[in-house]
Amino acid sequence: MSTGSHISVLLNEAVDALNIHPDGTYVDATFGRGGHSRAILAKLGSAGRLIALDRDLAAVSSSQSIQDARFTLVHSGFSNLKKQLELLDVSRVEGVMLDIGISSPQIDEATRGFSFRFDGPLDMRMDQSSGQTAAQFLAAASEQQLREVIKDYGEERFAKQIARAIVEVRTGGDAITTTGQLAKVVAGAVFKTEPGQDPATRTFQALRIFINQELEELSLTLPQCVEVLTPGGRLVVISFHSLEDRIVKRFIRSEQDRDDLPTRFAIRASELPPPRMIAIGKAIRPSANEVRANPRSRSAVMRVAERTAAT
């Protein structure tokens, strides 16, 4: 399903994985442009309910096109999932979906500053109503901070050289305030790139993840999903790079194996706490046909888990 210029990734697979009950209550914690939300609503009955969250004001605005009494949109990051449900007097839901990728409109709109393909203000905030911009971070961060962010969140092997180049530009009295300026600085500091990949790819990814605290948000949200899901309820997560997928994979495994016990804790297998979630199937990736139709889907990975009856 396409909404504007955005094509929802793994649309049918994700909605099918939720195993929707017509009268159930579901959460689309990353509304985006509403592709998944519309597909969920299409499967709900008259007594069903869908609650969507998004911290991007542009996404919130686009949600107004859905005129449906069963639908509620909240301007909020998904790390506030449980609190927002409580405010809506909802204690349990039958399914939660997280599509953690950046949307095409965010990438393609130069004023958002997410892409080096368009010259625009170096913003990168998902929620432009709060927080520091990428330009503000680059202007104030130490060389060590820059190196750590670019290395840890971008997995960039030339993080040291890029951080030094940014500081040198700054020391020379020039502020890096646009995507074009940053891309040029990075290109001058990176000696070798992967075939077909722009030198600035990993640096832009790193800054976006850092500015929006994306990994921290995900880590805070996953335990809340377990708490709000009713037994038999499904968690569906679509991620777009290894850092996110690693967090999701490890979380599901920890809830299934309950490996949160103290190290060397002496206990018999029969005394282990029951799993709170179980993985459903293996990780799912887009088909070759989907990747051809939407190249931005190529890195997507979907994982599904189901809440057990364990407390």
The stretch 177-200 carries a mean pLDDT of 90
- How confident is the model at residue 4, as a pLDDT? 43
Q: Is the pLDDT of residue 176 over 80?
A: yes
Q: Is the pLDDT of residue 269 over 60?
A: no
Give DSSP secondary structure letters for the chain: -EETTEE-TTHHHHHHHTT--TT-EEEES--TTSHHHHHHHHH--TT-EEEEEES-HHHHHHGGG---TTEEEEES-GGGHHHHHHHTT---EEEEEEE-SPPHHHHH-GGG---TTS--B----SSTTSS--HHHHHHH--HHHHHHHHHHHH--TTHHHHHHHHHHHHHTT----BHHHHHHHHHHH-----TT--TTHHHHHHHHHHHTTHHHHHHHHHHHHHHHEEEEEEEEEEESSHHHHHHHHHHHHHHHHTTTSPTT----GGGSPPPSEEE-SS-B---HHHHHH-GGGTT-EEEEEEE-S--
Task: Kindly indicate the confidence band of residue 227, based on its pLDDT and cuts at 50, 70 and 90.
Answer: very high
8 A C-beta contact, residue 274 and residue 258: yes
The stretch 67-86 carries a mean pLDDT of 97
CA distance 227 to 276: 9
- How confident is the model at residue 264, as a pLDDT? 53
Q: Is the pLDDT of residue 272 over 50?
A: yes
Task: Kindly indicate the confidence band of residue 192, based on its pLDDT and cuts at 50, 70 and 90.
Answer: confident
- How confident is the model at residue 2, as a pLDDT? 39
Q: 32 vs 28, 89, 166, CA distance in Å?
A: 9, 24, 32
The stretch 199-227 carries a mean pLDDT of 96
- How confident is the model at residue 265, as a pLDDT? 54
Task: Kindly indicate the confidence band of residue 6, based on its pLDDT and cuts at 50, 70 and 90.
Answer: low
- How confident is the model at residue 3, as a pLDDT? 42
CA distance 239 to 232: 23
Q: Give the least confident one: 5-9, 102-106, 112-116, 289-293.
A: 5-9
* 76 vs 101 pLDDT, higher one: 76
Q: Is the pLDDT of residue 208 over 90?
A: yes
Q: Is the pLDDT of residue 271 over 80?
A: no
The stretch 175-184 carries a mean pLDDT of 96
Percent of the chain scored above 90 by pLDDT? 82
CA distance 83 to 77: 11
The structure tokens listed for 146 are 């820059």
Q: Which residue has the tokens 């839901």?
A: 93
Q: Is the pLDDT of residue 193 over 80?
A: no
Task: Kindly indicate the confidence band of residue 1, based on its pLDDT and cuts at 50, 70 and 90.
Answer: very low
Q: Is the pLDDT of residue 260 over 60?
A: no
Q: Is the pLDDT of residue 238 over 60?
A: yes
The structure tokens listed for 129 are 């109503």
- How confident is the model at residue 139, as a pLDDT? 96
Burial of residue 126 (number of CB atoms within 10 Å: 0-12, 13-18, 19+): buried
R_g (Cα) of the chain, nearest Å: 21
Task: Kindly indicate the confidence band of residue 187, based on its pLDDT and cuts at 50, 70 and 90.
Answer: very high
- How confident is the model at residue 194, as a pLDDT? 76
8 A C-beta contact, residue 255 and residue 31: no
The structure tokens listed for 288 are 């070759």
Structural domains of the chain in order of their starting residue, each with its CATH number: 2-105+214-307 (3.40.50.150), 128-211 (1.10.150.170)
Q: 278 vs 10, 92, 240, 271, 281, CA distance in Å?
A: 21, 18, 22, 18, 9
